[in-house]
Amino acid sequence: MDGVAILETEVRELIRRRGLDPVRDRPGVVALVSDAIADYDERSVVGAVPPLVDAVAAHKSVVDAVAGLGPLQKYLDDPEVEEIWINSPTQVFVARRGEAELTTTMLTDGQVRDLVEKMLKVSGRRLDLSSPFVDASLPGGERLHAVIPDVTRRHWSVNIRKYVVRATTLDELVGLGSITPHAAAFLQAAVRAGLNVLVSGGTQAGKTTLLNALAGAIPARERVITCEEVFELRLVARDWVAMQCRQPSLEGTGEIPLRRLVKEALRMRPNRLLVGEVREAEALDLLIALNAGVPAMCTIHANSAREALTKLCTLPLLAGENVSDRFVVPTVASAVDLVVHLDLDAGGRRLVREIVAVPGRVEQGIVETADVFHARDGHLVRADGYPPHPERFARSGTDLAALLRGRG
């Protein structure tokens, strides 16, 4: 057994004796490891234990093992890594700025199981044969998703998605090249005016980041309620309540789905409602909230702004047979004001591809749209469409015509 392994064993025993919680008391663990290394060095001088080759590296290795995620911790600490996923113990991948790469990290089946169980310990969520999927938040804000056999063929499948905050405002997105200053100024004014915004895009296109940046334009006096599957949004709002879903208990009770959160949010006096993502029947509750006059923003998976609207017209039908497209389609047309669609370019950079207005009209069962900004030769440029509710822009002190000409 090498020095680091001996040290780790001793530290784990000290943690057990002192009753420390490695996850919740990381500073205490760091101090404990420092003391343990000092004592270890004294013993190594007289040959009682093998010497440590690198005390600094040993310190980090032991802290990562007992208070972090061991061999995966270095990827969590790396600001360039956006996501980590495990297909099998010998296939650990990471994504850096949208590009996937196979790492040199090699694990065992037991290590993967231990890592997942460690991550779930603080979340209160479970993973077993009766519940082979789990979606949870980690203490650092990362999002965990895991699936076990026999749903997967042989190995546990694990995804850890980091919410890498590269931009918290629209101006910062402009600095990253994700959106033009003209389009950003328009979206900022639209949010201030209280327009309902649907953010669409594929996986890892930057929907949550854009939603977070849009939320930064909400006036400070407004009360914001957010509803998410797991916590990802990080607002700077003064008056903000964040809620997340809850999985059922071992007895199958206590589940709180997204539909329930949206309903409860309406009882909390919201000035703004933010829904992390609509995937299923909760789309109906979102539409009902919008129809009640609560300004809202949410995200949705789609390949274009048009497909996002089509999907939003379809998802509410999952709520029950008594919900028909005769109600849903005109409600979508009247409730959604803007659709902002994002995409990844060939280099993995996140870009706003189009901003589409919804005037509120329906023609032969199809929601009409008008392009406000669209991509031309790879650049986002002004189109000829206009957003609905110009009076709201005027009330918020925005000259809409001048803004759209690029002079606002």
Domain ranges of the chain: 3-68, 73-161, 170-405
Considering the domain delimited by 73-161, tell me its CATH architecture: 2-Layer Sandwich (3.30)
Domain 170-405 listed as CATH 3.40.1010.10 = no
Percent of the chain with pLDDT over 70: 98
- Percentage above 90 pLDDT, the chain: 65
The answer to whether 73-161 and 170-405 have equal CATH topology is no
Segment 108-119 mean pLDDT: 92
Confidence of residue 175 (pLDDT cuts 50, 70, 90): very high
pLDDT score recorded for residue 165: 62
For residues 391 and 337, give the distance between their C-alpha atoms in angstroms, rounded to a whole number: 13
CA distances from 99 to 29, 83, 242, 349, 390 (A): 34, 10, 31, 9, 41
Q: Provide the phi-psi class of 249: left if phi over 0, else alpha when psi is between -120 and 50, else beta.
A: beta
pLDDT in tens, 5-55: 899 899 999 998 988 888 778 889 999 999 999 999 999 888 888 889 899
Tens-place pLDDT, residues 194-248: 999 999 999 888 899 999 999 999 999 999 999 998 888 888 888 999 999 887 7
In the numeric block, which tokens belong to residue 228? 């998410």
pLDDT tens for each residue of 184-200: 999 999 999 999 999 99
Place of tokens 């997340």: 244
Backbone angles phi, psi at 96, to 5 degrees: -115, 115
Residue whose entry in the numeric block shows the structure tokens 């999002």: 143
Q: What is the DSSP string of 210-226?
A: HHHHHHTTS-TTSEEEE
- Entry pTM: 0.83
pLDDT of residue 407: 61
Tokens of 214: 């849009």
Nearest to 358 by CA among 315, 313, 405, 319: 313
- 288-336 per-position pLDDT tens digit: 888 888 999 999 999 999 999 999 999 999 998 889 999 999 999 999 9
Q: For residue 136, what pLDDT is reported?
A: 82
| Residue 2 banded pLDDT, cuts 50, 70, 90 | confident
**CB atoms inside a 10 Å sphere around CB 256:** 14
Predicted pLDDT at 393? 96
Task: Output 137 or 259, whichever has higher pLDDT.
Answer: 259
